[in-house]
Homo-oligomer: A and B are copies of this chain.
Amino acid sequence: MILAFEIFFSDASGRTIVTPTAVDYEFKLDLTVPKVGLLLVGIGGNNGTTLLGATLANKHNISFENKRGVVKPNYYGSVTQASTIKIGIDKETGNDVYAPFNSIVPFVSPNDLVIDGWDISGVPLDQAMKRAQVLDVTLQKQLHPYLEGKKPMPSIYYPDFIALNQAERANNVYNATASGEVRTDNKWGDVEQIRKDIREFKAKNQLDKVIVLWTANTERYADVLPGVNDTADNLIKSVKESHEEIAPSTVFAVASILEGVPYINGSPQNTFVPGVIHLAEKHNSFLGGDDFKSGQTKVKSVLAQFLVDAGIKPLSIASYNHLGNNDGYNLSSPKQFRSKEISKQSVVDDIIESNSILYNKESGDKVDHCIVIKYLPAVGDDKVAMDEYYSELMLGGHNKISIHNVCEDSLLATPLIIDLVVVAEFLQRVTYKKAGESDDSYEGMYSVLSLLSYWLKAPLLRPGFKPINGLNKQRQALENLLRLLVGLPVNSELRLEERLK
């Protein structure tokens, strides 16, 4: 298998020299699909209970009735479960041929995941599902027996990191005394508790692998401080000292790394401070993040790319959201919103930088971009995104695209959790070596799984690299990796059969 590397130099004179070079790699995929457990931080929230509902409905083939008719369970909205990949061209007809994404190589099925998790709210999961107001009541009734009385594991609550308004939910917290007082002075103890939870979950369910995924409240940003969380060692030391910048999510990440299980961050906060990445590198453990890219940002990463690639210059993008679920309630607090804003802000940056004909000093090198999230309880989980793209056309003309998008927030986000878990698990089974090296030199991928970027608003990158936000590029990467592993060449869309004589 030859993998072409593209390398680029700029010589002393400033001229551009492109030198294609090639490095030979050999890739290997372990074809055995393991028994996988998934631990959710925030399992009692809207995403957590919707994931439980979705996997139960699909596993037990539970249909339900709503006013439009009978609905069969499915995994719509999941790339791995409900999309296809072009695998070639039919020799006879010249037509493209597609196969289900999850048929190309063996993937774990979401139906087979063993799911549990932590939550600061101790409401049993059937009631939590009801509180979420996501699934139809007729489905909820049928799911009830599977969830009745099941409580989330107690979680960690450091009040400083999430909105004050979450305090009343926090009744299932093991770092609290009997009188309800919260302790934040034994963070290493918290790490050990979480590690114990992971180990016990794995043993009890006889799992081959566990993945931990944060789908809990957005935390405020942690300060990145020299000596505190900048290296693996400093980080461990700071946890042991219960430093105030050690967030609950850091505790979960550290515990996961130390247990060697992948940790994925579905919220915008900067859990992955340099010390955490460093720690994962040291332990060859996997990280993925940040922040589920479910609705508005996903569309934006498609439309902005489209416009700029078409030579049209977006001048401003106004992005407004409102939602009424607990995510919105937590984000109504400024520090938590700030984390979200940062996560959503940068999504067009690489797109702008890719086109210096449109964006340059003379004609203006930025897009006016605003992000607003408002908490309007009335709309519940039916998040609304309203966007306006105002662009410049030739000769002073303008184009205005205004979008009103009614998402069902958790129904869009839950399939992303499935994809992140399924692909992260799969990536653990991919190994490679340089061609010619001995077979025992195969090693696993780099700790930061940037191939998960498709599903994430603010892709976590290997330090020093810039994120690619264009959704198509992100999907191309996944497609071409799968093709590579089964011996298909990179998809060029050249279709020479049709274009040559």
Q: What 0/1 readout, one digit per residue, does chain A (385-407) give for beta carbons within 8 Å of chain B?
A: 01010101111111111111111
Which of the 9-residue segments A35-43, A207-215, A471-479 touches chain B? A471-479
Does A262 interact with chain B (Cβ within 8 Å)? no
Q: What 0/1 readout, one digit per residue, does chain A (466-501) give for beta carbons within 8 Å of chain B?
A: 101001111111001100101111111111111111
Distance in angstroms between the alpha carbons of A377 and B69 in the assembled complex: 13
Known: A358-B76, A468-B96, A489-B4. A500 touches B399 (CB 8 A): no
Residue in A94, A298, A311 whose Cβ sees the most chain B Cβ within 10 Å: A311
Q: Is the CB–CB distance between B390 and A379 below 8 Å?
A: yes
Does A105 interact with chain B (Cβ within 8 Å)? no
By DSSP majority rule, is chain A's interface helix, strand, loop, or mixed?
mixed
Does A74 interact with chain B (Cβ within 8 Å)? yes
Distance in angstroms between the alpha carbons of A408 and B394 in the assembled complex: 10
In the complex, which residues 405-454 of chain A have their Cβ closer than 8 Å to any Cβ of chain B?
405-408, 411-412, 414-415, 432, 443-446, 449-451
Q: Is the CB–CB distance between B484 and A310 below 8 Å?
A: no
Q: Is the CB–CB distance between A82 and B311 below 8 Å?
A: yes
Residue in A133, A299, A397 whose Cβ sees the most chain B Cβ within 10 Å: A397
Distance in angstroms between the alpha carbons of A77 and B139 in the assembled complex: 29
Closest chain B residue to A404, Cβ basis: B402
Q: Is the CB–CB distance between A71 and B376 below 8 Å?
A: no
CB-CB < 8 A to A450: which residues of B?
Answer: 495, 498-499
Does A178 interact with chain B (Cβ within 8 Å)? no
Closest chain B residue to A16, Cβ basis: B99
Q: Is the CB–CB distance between B309 and A83 below 8 Å?
A: yes
Q: Is the CB–CB distance between B404 and A404 below 8 Å?
A: yes
Residue in A90, A400, A493 whose Cβ sees the most chain B Cβ within 10 Å: A493
Distance in angstroms between the alpha carbons of A307 and B393 in the assembled complex: 26
Distance in angstroms between the alpha carbons of A65 and B135 in the assembled complex: 12
CB-CB < 8 A to A407: which residues of B?
Answer: 399
Which of the 9-residue segments A237-245, A264-272, A316-324 touches chain B? A316-324
Q: Is the CB–CB distance between A318 and B376 below 8 Å?
A: yes
Distance in angstroms between the alpha carbons of A90 and B25 in the assembled complex: 20
Q: Is the CB–CB distance between A354 and B386 below 8 Å?
A: no
Which of the 9-residue segments A5-13, A114-122, A187-195 touches chain B? A5-13
Does A346 interact with chain B (Cβ within 8 Å)? no
CB-CB < 8 A to A100: which residues of B?
Answer: 357
Closest chain B residue to A480, Cβ basis: B492
CB-CB < 8 A to A402: which residues of B?
Answer: 386, 402-405
Q: What 0/1 readout, one digit per residue, does chain A (89-113) give for beta carbons within 8 Å of chain B?
A: 1110111111110000000000000
Q: What 0/1 readout, one digit per residue, does chain A (51-72) give for beta carbons within 8 Å of chain B?
A: 0011001000000111111011
CB-CB < 8 A to A488: which residues of B?
Answer: 6, 18, 20
Q: Is the CB–CB distance between A77 and B4 below 8 Å?
A: no
Known: A82-B311, A400-B405. A135 touches B91 (CB 8 A): no
Q: Is the CB–CB distance between B86 and A8 below 8 Å?
A: no
Q: Is the CB–CB distance between B308 and A299 below 8 Å?
A: no
A409 to chain B, nearest CB (A): 10
CB-CB < 8 A to A87: which residues of B?
Answer: 6, 8, 18
Q: Is the CB–CB distance between A89 and B8 below 8 Å?
A: yes
Top-8 shortest CB links A-B: A82-B311, A6-B88, A4-B489, A397-B411, A316-B378, A315-B378, A71-B396, A8-B88
Q: Would you give 8 A-B contacts (Cβ < 8 Å), ordered by A?
A: A3-B496, A67-B134, A68-B396, A81-B357, A135-B395, A461-B498, A462-B499, A476-B492
